[in-house]
Structure 1
Amino acid sequence: MPSIASTPRYVTLARQIAAEIAEGRHPLGSQMLPEVEMAAERGVSRATMRAALDRLESLGLISRRRRAGTRVAALRPADQGAYQQSLAGIGDLLQYAAQTRREINSIRPVVSDETMERDLGLRAKQRWLRITSLRVPADGGAALCWTETYADAAAAPPDLEQRLRGAEAAELIATVLAAWSGRPIAEVVQEIDAAGIPAGPVARALGARAGEHALEITRRYLDPSGLPLSVSVSLHPAGRFTSVSRLRRAAEPATRRRTDDAGSQ
């Protein structure tokens, strides 16, 4: 069976530096070494160092300014009650799962209908396992989200419930399915929308008020053929989760730059 991806090196490095900042080894307001020197000192590539610093900056622990360098901006993330995550790839989703814990509410078989086909992109008349759960911080605290996951029944091991309640409780359901079925996760399609907390069990489980603003995140975990291993819909009460994305301007093609330069002569 294919193995589940290990924690990315830059994530481990960011955690180490965050711990050093919290311990006071890098005082508040102090200037840190340049990126190149930090990479050499820690025996990592500059790209790995930059990714780690990006993560620390997204947490508000450091600030970086051109010609001013990198400075320590806070000893701890600004909001300890919220979960902030930079989701730049599948590895970051795996890291999010590792830092939180799933609490299973129920697992039951369902057959997808036209509504599920329209709303979730599931093929109609296919067997799925509907899994409802809470995601909570690994070290305790308020629940981060309520999640409904639809897992492809054909890709699920017979003891899926035992696995999700036991040693694999922290893992993404899709990675458990991928390892069992031999269908690796090739792509994750994510949609984010505004929503409200529904009254009843969901509001009570989240400790939130019915109608309170929430972030609804739908993720489709696709195998190499484009078929979904699972589809999850997570409802995050306002202030408990922040998704961070970074958009960088791509370098202009060399042919375009040469043409512009020639026209300006």
Structure 2
Amino acid sequence: MDVRYSELANTIVKNIRDGIYPVGSRLPSEVDFARQFDVSRTTIRSALRVVEELGLISRKRRAGTIVEAANPASQYSKSLHSIEDLVNYASKTIRNVLDISQIICDDALAATLECKAGKRWLRVQILRTELTDRDHPICWTDAYMDPDDGQAILDLLKDGSGLLCHFIEQRTGRTVIDLKQQVGATQVPAAVAHLLQVKADSVGLEITRHYLDQAKKVFLITVNIYPKDKFKFTFWIHRDKR
């Protein structure tokens, strides 16, 4: 049941984004939705609750369900300060896609990604460079996504700017609700070092990001390696006023 209502929520979000349900319009009733998707009204209510929490719709007695916005409100406040900082960062760098392949997790990779060994992923390997100078590398990224999501955005997986999670949002109806970041020191592998123009096994910063959708499911994981002098990570800690 959980999977079903999250799939319905994704479909409704995508239809709103695509203009099938324009801002200001009224969504079909729960009864009509239930008939359309051949599910119970309980499942429809659960799906609509997810969409409402994203700020896309409002539900009022007698007025029905009204579309309020085409895109979710961006109110993320995680360790990079906000996801908008990630968007800003991505818009000022170039994504150079070097390889796209399907892989199966071994034990070592499963430990890194916090998933089960044997899980299948679509892996996209990316070298990010400065927007104005592709000869100056900034970051190496191994991005792992569900193969079905990967197929949905395959034509978008090319050199350019922007975030992969936004492509997945646009094509699948998923929405980033939570972003988990893990930061630690690492040694830059030899295979990556020459691309980043640093010595093999030199010290680098590794940031692993898990992107979770409205069903709290991880749909994208990125493992990013930065040379020690290419990235500064800043956050604030405030004293509780209570």
Q: What interval of TM-score do these two structures reach, taking the shorter chain for normalisation?
A: 0.5 to 0.7
Whether 1:156 and 2:147 are equivalent positions in the alignment is no
Q: TM-score, normalised by structure 1?
A: 0.58
Quick check: 2:106–2:117 contact (8 Å CA) kept in 1? yes
1:106 CA displacement: 0.2
1:204 CA displacement: 1.2
1:148 CA displacement: 0.6
Aligned partners of 1:128, 1:107: CA distance in 2, in Å?
Answer: 11
Relative to structure 1, is the Cα distance of residues 165 and 177 closer, same or farther in structure 2, using a 3 angstrom cutoff?
same
Whether 1:116 and 2:106 are equivalent positions in the alignment is no
Letter paired with 1:91: E
Q: TM-score, normalised by structure 2?
A: 0.63
Letter paired with 2:143: T
Aligned partners of 2:153, 2:181: CA distance in 1, in Å?
Answer: 28
Q: Residue 131 of structure 1 is aligned with which of 124, 141, 156?
A: 124
Letter paired with 2:114: G
Quick check: 1:156–1:180 contact (8 Å CA) kept in 2? no
1:249 CA displacement: 1.5
Give the paired residue count. Answer: 166
Aligned partners of 1:123, 1:183: CA distance in 2, in Å?
Answer: 22
Letter paired with 2:230: R
Q: Deviations over 1:90-136 (max 9, x none)?
A: 12111111111110110001133443332212344433111111111
Aligned partners of 2:201, 2:108: CA distance in 1, in Å?
Answer: 23
Quick check: 1:127–1:154 contact (8 Å CA) kept in 2? no
Q: What residue number does 2:185 align with? A: 194
Q: Residue 211 of structure 1 is aligned with which of 193, 201, 206?
A: 201
Q: How does 1:1-265 map to 2 (within 5 A)?
A: 1=14, 87-140=80-133, 142-160=136-154, 162-165=155-158, 169-199=160-190, 201-252=191-242
Q: Secondary structure at the match of 1:154?
A: helix
Relative to structure 1, is the Cα distance of residues 185 and 159 closer, same or farther in structure 2, using a 3 angstrom cutoff?
closer
Aligned partners of 2:88, 2:116: CA distance in 1, in Å?
Answer: 29
Identity of aligned residues (%): 30
Quick check: 1:185–1:222 contact (8 Å CA) kept in 2? yes
Report the structure number with the largest CA radius of gyration: 1
| Unpaired stretches in structure 2, ≥5 consecutive residues | 1-13, 18-78
Q: Secondary structure at the match of 2:136?
A: coil
Letter paired with 1:196: Q
Letter paired with 2:137: A
Q: What residue number does 1:70 align with? A: none
Aligned partners of 1:184, 1:198: CA distance in 2, in Å?
Answer: 33
Quick check: 1:157–1:177 contact (8 Å CA) kept in 2? no
Aligned partners of 2:153, 2:167: CA distance in 1, in Å?
Answer: 11
Q: What residue number does 1:28 align with? A: none
Letter paired with 1:146: W
| Unpaired stretches in structure 1, ≥5 consecutive residues | 4-85, 253-265
1:153 CA displacement: 1.3
Letter paired with 2:101: R
Q: Secondary structure at the match of 1:143?
A: strand
Q: Secondary structure at the match of 1:146?
A: strand
